Amino acid sequence: MKKEFGVYGGQEVPPVVIQALNELEMAFNEAKNDPAFEQTFRYYLKQYVGRENPLYFAKNLSERLGGANIYLKREDLNHTGAHKINNTIGQIILAKRMGKKKIIAETGAGQHGVATATAAALFGMECEIFQGATDMERQKLNVHRMKLLGAKVTPVYQNTATLSDAVDVAINHWVENIEDTFYLLGSAVGPHPFPTIVRYFQRVIGEETKAQILAQTSRLPDIIMACVGGGSNAIGIFQSFLEDDHVKLVGVEAAGKGLDTKEHAATLTLGKPGVIHGMHTKVVMDDNGKISPVYSISAGLDYPGIGPEHAHLQDTGRVQYVSATDTEAMDALKMLSRTEGIIPAIESAHAIAEVIKQAPLLPKDQNIVVNLSGRGDKDVESIMAYDELLKT
Ligand SMILES: *Cc1c(COP(=O)(O)O)cnc(C)c1O
């Protein structure tokens, strides 16, 4: 079977799903070539999401670290507080075009569920979100947000009742309702064409960044950093720079409680080639090849797979993948909050943690861009719980 990204990608799904994926791919290719589609997408990005968002020179943080200049791509300023809305708006417009009436999606912590429910409300589509029962209990506020936006939230009880299980149930539901239902996937993962579609809608991040850094510094940045869960915000900012060989690209995974423990989500650092959720990619697995449970303090990075393009970009050496622990991320979150008055999402703080490691070692004429994928308002309770734990 054809793979889109070196030996990664493909469609490891039953034949009935392949049929739905083919229909999706055809509709997507057609939409891409229709200027009216792009125009509608850009209209909502500007008027509804609030793009373009700034590329902000973090002067205080740069001075504090005493090395390279640090620029923040402010995805945290988007409507709903993260980059996810770029993708949900794009896919909803595609779903409408395909004549679908109903949107379904999986969600872990609830961020993708909220972004999907938001877009569905905007476009008057029926919306059902599948979420693990364990996650629903942990993320009550997001469950209420989704309901407030008019979505139905369906609990998933099987296995560990978390994100992976929600994906399985959502796919099954899709197969049974393929006629009128659109499956809106939340990251650059899953069977082809999903990783390609999500990358397409997130490319706006890199396009804006390139124009903004050229306007502000008259040259391309030396390094770009982004956190990596499934990999959508990272591929969104990286793709405009993949051909610019002298721009160093760095993805930051969650090392959780440490790479020497079992409690991490460092798929590219410690995973092996395997199959998960319909794609060939790298997967965190045990010695018997069974998918291992993963852990991170950040719910958005807590995924045992990774977008197939990232697995490929690691193998080719174009992107370097590193990791940050819970502690490093939380220290970074606090440093950014206090120096710049910006509370980042815990996910994004993983990328800031890598900046804190690298910036002081670099000369003052070097420029680092960090994709600030989301804001930390959603994480205040987790941050409080973490601080309580530190006291004991
Ligand atoms: C969901 C999320 C992520 C992780 O998802 P990617 O697909 O890897 O981008 C990162 N940051 C924030 C703020 C998120 O909500």
What's the confidence (pLDDT) of residue 159? 87
| Residue labelled with tokens 């174009």 | 318
Closest-CA residue, ligand 1 atom 5, reads 229
Whose Cα sits closest to atom 7 in ligand 1? 232
CATH 3.40.50.1100 domain span(s) along the chain: 15-45+84-194, 51-81+203-391
Note the pLDDT tens digit of each residue in 39-50.
999 999 999 999
Say how many Å lie between the CA of residue 111 and the centre of ligand 1: 9
Residues 6+ apart with CB under 8 A from 110: 131, 135, 139, 141, 142, 143, 145, 146
Q: What is the pLDDT of residues 150-159, one digit of tens each?
A: 999 999 999 8
Closest CA to 117 of 91, 148, 95: 148
Is the pLDDT assigned to residue 139 strictly greater than 90? no
Torsion angle of the four alpha carbons 23, 25, 29, 31, in this order, in degrees rounded to the nearest 10? 60
Chain-wide mean pLDDT for the chain? 96
59 is catalytic: no
Residue pLDDT, tens place only, 74-112: 999 999 999 999 999 999 999 999 999 999 999 998 999
Place of tokens 């409080």: 384
pLDDT confidence band for 1 (50 / 70 / 90): low
Q: Which residues line ligand 1 (CB under 6 A)?
A: 82, 84, 111, 187, 227-234, 300-301, 345, 347-348, 373-374
pLDDT tens for 185-242 read: 999 999 999 999 999 999 999 999 999 999 999 999 999 999 999 999 999 999 999 9
CA of 347 to the centre of ligand 1 (A): 6
For 51-81+203-391, give the CATH class: alpha beta
Q: What is the secondary structure of 133-199 as a DSSP string?
A: HHHHHHTHHHHHHHHHTT-EEEEE-STT-SHHHHHHHHHHHHHHTTTTEEE---SS-SSTTHHHHHH
Per the CB < 8 A criterion, the answer to whether 238 and 319 are in contact is yes
240 part of the active site: no
pLDDT in tens, 356-381: 999 999 999 999 999 999 999 999 98
Q: Which atom of ligand 1 is nearest to the CA of 231?
A: 8
4 CA from centroid of ligand 1 (Å): 22
Residue 163 pLDDT > 90: no
Whole-number Cα distances in Å, 286 to 251, 261, 283, 290: 24, 13, 10, 5
Q: Per-residue pLDDT tens for 255-269?
A: 999 999 999 999 999
Fold of 15-45+84-194: Rossmann fold (3.40.50)
What is the token pair recorded at 109? 């912590």
* Residues whose CB falls within 8 Å of the CB of residue 60, separated by 6 or more in sequence, listed in order: 339, 340
63's CB contacts (< 8 A; 6+ apart) are none
Residue of the CA atom closest to atom 10 of ligand 1? 347
Active-site annotation holds for 84: yes
Q: What percent of the chain has pLDDT over 90?
A: 90
